Amino acid sequence: MAKSRRWLGLAPASIIMLGLFGGSLGYGIAQSLGWLPFLGQRQLSLAAYRNVLAGEQLGGQWWQALLFSLWVSLAATLGSALICLGLLSSIAERQQQYRGLSTISNLHLAIPHSVWAMALLLVLSQSGIFARIGFALGWLDQPSDFPVLVRDRWGIGIIVAYITKEVPFLLLMGLASLRQQGREYLLVAQSLGANRWQRVRLVLWPLLAPSLIGGSLLVFSFIFGAYEVPALVGVRYPEMLATMALELFLNPDLHARAEGMAVSLLMSLIILLVIGLAWRWRRAEQQP
């Protein structure tokens, strides 16, 4: 009875959320299939998906954007995870530093991604603060001699922006795992003669793996589908899939809206595929 009451209590909010989500998803799928009643199109087809994946105009742009999105997402996720693991391994045996690192991470998470990207743009661009300081000190002949770190074709600025934003998020997840019994296990391993590398590999990594892997999947999914940072510190070509989808959706030619919805849904399928593969890999690891 008590369980039924809890479900009944959650029912109104659940119905509203499922209705909004389901309605939006259904509308997006319908538009990607060519259902555009405001243009008089009501016949469903896969033309938008064919245009995106193999069309003369969008086919090459889609595959280039896909490879670029995967590169940026994987590089930023892997970089964030490695930096987080290094920081946690350096303080794992000094519990008094947990609180300070947690406070700094929480404060940094309060900064929106768009604000942080603009700050990096002001600091790292060829007309930014570092370039002007280098020119004033005589290290550069012109501010334009500063290396291209933002709005570059390799996405370095996007990767740097995401790494510096996602490391605090992963740190908070890792600190939650360490606070349980991490320090005690490390001290026991040290008393048994394990060196620093052995303690990290045999004790710290197994403790942190569930939270870091789960957090990294969230980070990858967020970066793969995010728009604001690539729009601010990225370039027009190559562009990420989220930028491509929004450009198609906002195209003055309303017929392109179907392709924009198709790109968005294909992005969602790729994210679900990555999460599904990671889930199966994790289940296989846990089985004896």
In this predicted model, what pLDDT tens digit does every residue of 109-118 receive, in sequence order?
A: 888 999 999 9
**Backbone φ, ψ for residue 174 (5° rounding):** -70, -40
Give pLDDT tens digits for 201-251: 887 888 888 888 888 988 999 999 888 999 899 888 888 999 998 888 888
> What pLDDT is attached to residue 2?
57
What's the chain look like in SS3? CHHHHHHHHHHHHHHHHHHHHHHHHHHHHHHHCCCEHHHCECCCCCHHHHHHHHCCCCHHHHHHHHHHHHHHHHHHHHHHHHHHHHHHHHHCCCHHHHHHHHHHHHHHHCCCHHHHHHHHHHHHCCCCHHHHHHHHCCCCCCHHHCCCCCCCCCCHHHHHHHHHHHHHHHHHHHHHHHHHHHHHHHHHHHHCCCCHHHHHHHHHHHHHHHHHHHHHHHHHHHHHHCCHHHHHHCCCCCCCHHHHHHHHHCCCCHHHHHHHHHHHHHHHHHHHHHHHHHHHHHHHHHCC
Are the beta carbons of 190 and 200 closer than 8 angstroms? no
User: Residue 75's pLDDT is what?
Assistant: 95
Q: Are 131 and 148 in contact (CB under 8 A)?
A: no
What is the overall mean pLDDT for the chain? 83
Tell me what pLDDT residue 72 has.
95
Break the chain into its structural domains and give their ranges.
31-286
Residue pointed to by tokens 């001290």: 187
| pLDDT of the residue at 42 | 82
Per-residue pLDDT of the chain (288 residues; tens, 9 = 90+): 556 676 666 677 778 877 877 777 787 888 888 888 877 788 888 888 888 888 777 778 889 999 999 999 999 999 999 999 888 888 776 665 667 778 888 888 888 999 999 999 899 888 889 888 988 888 888 888 888 888 888 899 999 999 999 999 998 888 887 776 666 777 777 777 777 777 778 878 888 888 888 889 889 999 998 889 998 998 888 889 999 988 888 888 888 888 889 999 999 899 888 888 777 776 766 665
Q: Please provide the CATH number assigned to the domain covering 31-286.
A: 1.10.3720.10
Please report the pLDDT score of residue 284 as a whole number. Answer: 66
C-beta atoms surrounding 43 within 10 Å:
9
CA atoms within 13 A on the CB side of 270: 19
Beta bridge partners of 114: none
Asked if residues 72 and 246 have their Cβ atoms less than 8 Å apart, the reply is no
Q: Which residues contact 248 (CB under 8 A, 6 or more apart)?
A: 256, 257, 259, 260, 263
Q: Would the pTM count as exceeding 0.95?
A: no
Token code pair at residue 165: 């934003």
At 71 the pLDDT is 95
Residue 97's pLDDT is: 62
What is the Cα–Cα distance from 166 to 40, expressed in whole angstroms? 44
Question: What is the pLDDT at residue 27?
Answer: 79
pLDDT of residue 33: 86
Q: From CA 191, how far away is CA 185, in angstroms rounded?
A: 10
